[in-house]
Amino acid sequence: MTKNIQCGAPKDSASDYSKHIELLMITADKVPAGWRKTYDEAMRGLLKRDCASRSSLVVSGPLIQDGEIGFHVSKDDHCVAGILRKTAARLQGQCQVCGAQARMRVIGLKRRPLCAECYAPRALTAELTRLLQDLKVRAAGKSQTLYSAHDLSPRIRALLPDSCWHHVQSECGAKVVRCIASDDLRGMSDWLRAIRDRALALTSATTDG
C-alpha cells in the first residue's frame, strides 16, 4: 500500500526546509545513542515531506532536556508538528542508552528514560556511593544503626544475601521487620565498593549521548 505523504507539489531543488532537516540530521550526535535510530527515521520522514508550501518552514533543534526532546517549528504545520510530537512521545519511552523500551527514571537531579538494565547500574552506583558515605559518617560517630529493608533501595536489597538480615520485632510486637546492622554493612564495604566501581565502569563504557 502506498501513501501520499507529500502535502503539496514536490520541489526539484533542495529547499531551505530540506537544508534545515539535513542540518538536524548532521547534528544527530547531540542525540543520545539509544534515540538515534528513531530520530533518524523521523528526520527521513520529515525530508520526504518537503514540498513548495514548506520551503520557508524552519525546523530547529533538537533541544534535549529532562529526558524529553523538543524542536522548534517556525510556523504552524500540522503534519510536521505531528511527526515531531509523535517522535518526542515515542522517545520518552525509549532507553537513551540502548533504545529498548524504557521508563522515565530519576538519577540525582536528572530525569531520563532508561530501561531496567541500563538504569540499574547507574542507580546502584549512586545509591552505593551514598550508602558508603553514610557508613563512613556513622563509623566516625561510632554509632551503630539498624537499616530496615525500606531504608535501602531495591537494588541494594537485591545485592545483600538474605542471611545478612536480622528479624527484629517491632516495639508493639505486632510486626517483624527485616533489618541489617550498619556494622554488618561496614564489614562488606570493600565488596560494596568493588561492586560500585564495577557498575560505574559498566556505565562509563556505554555511550549515554
Give the footprint of another protein on this chain (CB under 8 A): 103, 116-117, 119-121, 123-124, 154-155, 157-159, 161-169, 173, 176, 178, 184, 187-188, 190-191, 194-195, 198-199, 202
Q: How far is the CB of 121 from another protein (least distance, A)?
A: 6
CB-wise, 138 or 178, nearer to another protein?
178
DSSP at 109:
T
Q: How far is the CB of 100 from another protein (least distance, A)?
A: 10
CB-wise, 77 or 127, nearer to another protein?
127
3-state secondary structure of 133: helix
Rounded CA separation 22/48 (Å): 11
Q: For residue 121, how many C-alpha atoms fall within 13 Å in the half-sphere facing its CB?
A: 16
3-state secondary structure of 144: coil
- Count how many residues are written for the chain: 209
CB 26 within 8 A of CB 34: no
Q: How far is the CB of 167 from another protein (least distance, A)?
A: 6
CB-wise, 138 or 157, nearer to another protein?
157
CB-wise, 19 or 198, nearer to another protein?
198
3-state secondary structure of 113: strand
CB-wise, 140 or 174, nearer to another protein?
174
- Nearest CA to 181 out of 209, 143, 207, 155 is that of 143
Q: How far is the CB of 180 from another protein (least distance, A)?
A: 9
CB 180 within 8 A of CB 186: no
Q: For residue 197, how many C-alpha atoms fall within 13 Å in the half-sphere facing its CB?
A: 6
CB-wise, 11 or 186, nearer to another protein?
186
